[in-house]
Amino acid sequence: MAIENVWIEEGCISCGMCVQECPEVFKMDNALAVVKEDVDFNEYEESIKRAADICPAGIIKFS
């Protein structure tokens, strides 16, 4: 499945696990996780899926 969009819904608890799992796609900004711009999500598909799976708040989404 090709990933075209990645987003983070409200509720980030600032744990940084997504950044540890996939720093190419996620970064911390003002203590909240955000998705970096201009990233080829398909290149990091497996890491994005793992980051979504390990997010304790369950707020990382992709389509």
Q: What's the pLDDT tens digit per position in 21-59?
A: 999 999 999 999 999 999 999 999 999 999 999 999 999
| Structural domain boundaries, residue 36 | 6-62
Query: In the prediction, which pLDDT does 26 show?
Result: 98
* Domain harbouring 44, CATH code: 3.30.70.20
Query: In the prediction, which pLDDT does 5 show?
Result: 97
DSSP E strands, the chain: 6-8, 26-29, 32-35, 60-62
Count of domains forming the chain: 1
In a domain, 1, yes or no: no
From the list 32, 35, 40, the residue with the least C-alpha distance to 16 is 32
In a domain, 44, yes or no: yes
Model confidence band, residue 10 (pLDDT cutoffs 50, 70, 90): very high
In a domain, 31, yes or no: yes
Write down the pTM of the prediction: 0.94
Query: In the prediction, which pLDDT does 21 show?
Result: 98
